[in-house]
Amino acid sequence: MALFTRKDTVTSDRIYEGGIINLRVDALKLADGQSTTREVVEHNGGVVIACRPKPHQIILIRQYRYSIDHDLLELPAGRIEKGEKPLSAAQRELTEETGYQAKQWKELAQMYTAPGFTNELLYLYEANDVAFVGKNLDHDEETEVIELDIEEAWRWIAQGKIRDAKTIAGVGLLHSPAV
């Protein structure tokens, strides 16, 4: 297996710049002298919120995801805007998508979503001591808020009702006795 580092990049061409992602194609030279390419989706990162209205509960949202043409059950989440701190993004996204605000915040983990093709890093937060203040959705969003027992959420994962990776990770961390 040939390993390479960033210094082995021969060329880097950004072929798309968008509002959410950029797409870059890099030509690389491997240690053995061979060449290869990598397609990289550049993303500013995102946040995921494990909101707990009660110690044994978690807030999920059901929303339509265009890329898979299907509704998903997910933890509230969203992208970090340019120049925004992850915690500020988490606080904003929680209120936008669920209508809840939290007084207590704790970072649980940081995770790469799919490092084989994207640099997106997600910050997973736990939100406690919450109060409902009303949703403030983006113009193109629609969510159904679901309060669920953490044990039931874990069963839904095992049954295949929850298939979103960030949600599986977040519920798994809360379900674990170590957290």
Residue boundaries of the structural domains of the chain: 6-43, 46-175
Yes or no: say if 14 and 22 are a contact pair by the CB < 8 Å rule.
Answer: yes
3-state secondary structure at position 46? strand
pTM, entire model: 0.91
Model confidence band, residue 13 (pLDDT cutoffs 50, 70, 90): very high
The reported pLDDT for the residue numbered 136 is 75
Looking at residue 6, its pLDDT comes to: 58
Task: At 56, give phi and psi (nearest 5°).
Answer: -100, 5
Which tops the pLDDT comparison, 32 or 58? Answer: 58
pLDDT higher than threshold 90 for residue 49: yes
142 tagged catalytic: yes
Question: Between these two residues, 87 and 5, which has the higher pLDDT value?
Answer: 87
Q: CA 20, CA 64: separation in Å to the nearest integer?
A: 18
Amino acid at 43: H
Question: Which residue out of 142, 144, 147, 151 is catalytically annotated?
Answer: 142
Instruction: Provide CATH code, domain 46-175.
Output: 3.90.79.10
Distance of CA 164 to the CA centre of its chain: 9
State the pLDDT at residue 130: 97
Angle value at C-alpha 78, between 141 and 39, nearest 5 degrees:
110
Q: Reply yes or no on whether the pLDDT at 142 is more than 90.
A: no
Mean residue pLDDT across the chain: 93
